[in-house]
Structure 1
């Protein structure tokens, strides 16, 4: 095939801008004028409204030299054309484009699950807080146990209520080797006597020592068979009529520097002997074998009290 103008058989073969090139001008291409076509002579203008072309059918051709009705003046709206997005079911606009959350590539995979990571972080923090709380509570419990297990370890002189075991339980459970005594087994001097007029005594038969509220009154306990010398704790159970009392404590003839405190712990009503039972204690140093313990009402003591039991426990090491 030699170069030259072989004509254009279809509109797709026309070069609408042929008039801009030298070879196009040589072949007779002309710029558009009026409402007609442009390009090479004999070019076909087959303008039709959008959507009217039927595939498989022959498109009508315009007679040579005739110009079909144009779609409108250049620059003005064309009645045969509208943007696809204006038709129902037309092209999807930018605002209608599907959105994708995160992720790269064409596979549509989502990005990292930040919500799951946040929940996991919160769970870890909660677990740490719970662990710290449990540890703190456990530590406080250990402190409380230590404080409660060593109640009265300091050499104070008294305690409230019946917090200590009775003489019989002390002698029979865990302290069988340490002596205990009831009121009836004490040696009474200075006008003291036994009675059982009001209830509450833990001694056998509900017996207690009375007439103690006078100077010179005393009770003496001979402690026999102590296997080891050392520091012990002497417990004395007493009853008072709702007011404080005290007495002198002597060990092997030597008086303690502090009186035996028989305080009205719990502030029981005055005059109510049955509710006035308390327990007090004092540290004593005893010899191996036999020892003598005295509780006496001497000058300066307040002795309005009755005595129930006395027993020993191992003192501070």
Structure 2
């Protein structure tokens, strides 16, 4: 074959519309005529019956260009079923050299084609709870920690006394409801002294004001009397006596409101001081008594059978019996 006389050698040169262009007419392109070919002279005759061409696959079940069968009036024409071959369509991947297609799984479905799991609502719920907990903890820390450095100026300003604050502590104290009421206490020198009884301060160690104590009690008929007032409630009380003995035991008669107690007031040498040493014999004792509401008279005396070599320092009361 010689170039230019053998017609088109490639499909690109077989232009069926070449006769429409000036260069095509110059090359001899003519409009189609009859049942023969058209285009350039000597072009390859590529005319085929409709539906005849095959691309390496089995021919479709209906020729291209044929009209689909129609259903009788009032009936819906039958359509190809799902996943059934369509007689009028050939997928591009069936053509040699055609593009390969892949199927992407639907969102929310597994790779196996089965029904997949939906959104992880449990994880979302846990996350939401964690966020709320963090916010609550942060608020709590902020409330407990105060304003931090930003509030230091306010704290310093508030430290200055205002009209509702006092620069010095109040001297008035308020007792809590139900608190124990302080009961009377007296130095022995303030007692009513009987015959022969006097005060002194020669022996060191007395707790009374100025170290003054009552002496001269070592004689029959000697006495000291305490007129106690302000008792709020009648009942049981304990009488405490601070005294000193010269290294030996002593005793006295205790009388309350003109009634002598069954047992003498024990003035023993509880300090274990040496005999004759009053300074090392300071100690205390107690006796259970019953008082009336208001004023009461308590008397300590040296009666028959008592050993009365003793110095008296202080007396006080407490509620109840020991």
TM range (shorter): 0.3 to 0.5
- Which structure's relative contact order is higher, taking Cα pairs within 8 Å and 6+ residues apart? 1
**TM-score, length-scaled by structure 2:** 0.44
**TM-score, length-scaled by structure 1:** 0.44
